[in-house]
Amino acid sequence: MTLRAAGTRPNGDTKSRILDAAEALFIEQGFEALSLRQITAHAEVNLAAVNYHFGSKETLIHSMLARRLDRLNVDRLALLDHFEQRFADSGDGGGLTCEHVLGALFIPALRLARDPEQGGRAFLRLLGRAYTDPSSFVREFLARHYASVSDRIFAAFARALPHLPKDELSWRLHFSIGALSGVLAGSNSQALVAQFAHGETSSDLQVIARLSSLMVAALKAPMPDETSIATFTTVLDDADALHAQTAAADEAARASSADPARDEHASNGSTTYGDTGSSDESGSKARSVNAARPAGGSHSGNAVVGEPVQKVHASTGGSRTPISWPGSTTTGSFRYRVF
């Protein structure tokens, strides 16, 4: 964050200075860490001025976000309207594509980021922070205030990608836009773009092409089939088995450390610990790892140290339960929760 020199006072009217200060601090810290004391110090105003113009921190952040995002979304919808009218599907395959919809999302944002009156270079960071901030206030504000815009854009993507189920489209948009927002929210995004451009100025065309190529690939990727599900089932089984092996080894090490006489008794074939013949609790837990393993050797989350990791495929009736996601049901195929 750029600091002002001591003794200098920012230009502009009081309300604008408060909004500018709130925007700069929100980009750096997010909503929850932001305080009115910080905002008043940054804007060089008193708390009474904030209360007079906005009344509360929530109303101030609401106004700050709307100041930038209202204009952005008006421009987005205007461009989307233009694309939908120009490329209305006439049945010859020349209709609206996901590249057009992505263009409606990105082009207005890039243009506003080049306008100092609309936030300039910080605009993209504000956009990224707004969409990645975890506070319920920001999420609810965006969902409520821009619901109609989100619905229009989602409907346009659904028309451009009619082969994708709507819940699958929701997942892909959530992941791809979320990843992009995380990059934009970073403080070094501009430096990163400049580094990749080798010092040359990147045009809107170059930036749009790079962003779109990544997202188009994600949106148009084929649906996961039985082969890919079986592959990731094997990966998950391997990870589970390794975790079980590590846990068993750690438990055995703890038991050995707790009973120094264990190794001597084990070398003599003894299965009891101590003079009273009572079982050592830790040793019993360690021995129960192997005892709990079901007959037949199928993987159940308990692995024997030294045994090879067993690979279980979903398509071969392995012991892993069908893959499911929170908020979804599984009936033999992938089902995704709609966000």
CB 134, CB 185: distance < 8 Å: no
**What is the pLDDT at residue 156?**
94
Provide the CB-side half-sphere exposure for 148 (13 A, CA).
5
3-state secondary structure 239-256: HHHHHHHHHHHHHHHHHH
Q: What CATH number does residue 68 fall under?
A: 1.10.357.10
For residues 33 and 180, membership in a common domain is answered with yes
For residues 119 and 200, membership in a common domain is answered with yes
- The tokens for 29 are 């810290």
Tell whether 302 is covered by a domain: yes
| C-alpha span between 49 and 47 (Å, rounded) | 5
For residues 124 and 49, membership in a common domain is answered with yes
Tell whether 266 is covered by a domain: no
For residues 100 and 132, membership in a common domain is answered with yes
For residues 162 and 300, membership in a common domain is answered with no
For residues 129 and 32, membership in a common domain is answered with yes
**What is the pLDDT at residue 160?**
92
**What is the pLDDT at residue 187?**
56
- The tokens for 169 are 């489209």
Tell whether 337 is covered by a domain: no
Q: For residue 23, which phi and psi values (nearest 5 degrees)?
A: -65, -45
For residues 185 and 303, membership in a common domain is answered with no
For residues 25 and 128, membership in a common domain is answered with yes
Q: Coil, strand or helix: which one is 39?
A: helix
Print pLDDT tens along the chain (339 aa).
444 433 344 546 999 999 999 999 999 999 999 999 999 999 999 999 999 999 999 999 999 999 999 999 999 999 999 999 998 765 555 689 999 999 899 889 888 888 888 888 788 889 889 988 989 999 999 999 999 999 999 999 999 999 899 999 999 998 888 777 776 666 555 565 566 556 666 666 676 777 778 889 999 988 888 998 999 999 999 999 999 999 999 999 998 887 665 555 555 554 444 444 444 444 444 444 444 444 444 444 343 333 433 343 444 444 444 444 333 333 333 333 232
Work out how many domains the chain is built from and give that number: 2
- The tokens for 311 are 């690979």
For residues 169 and 114, membership in a common domain is answered with yes
For residues 252 and 210, membership in a common domain is answered with no
For residues 136 and 238, membership in a common domain is answered with no
pTM of the model: 0.65
Last residue of a domain, one of 220, 238, 268: 220
For residues 53 and 176, membership in a common domain is answered with yes
Of 176, 164, 156, nearest to 76 (Cα)? 156
Per the structure, the complete domain to which residue 76 belongs is given by: 14-220
How far is it between the farthest Cα atoms of the chain? 90
CA angle, 249 as apex, 248 and 253 as ends, to 5°? Answer: 115
* Residue owning tokens 């024997």: 304
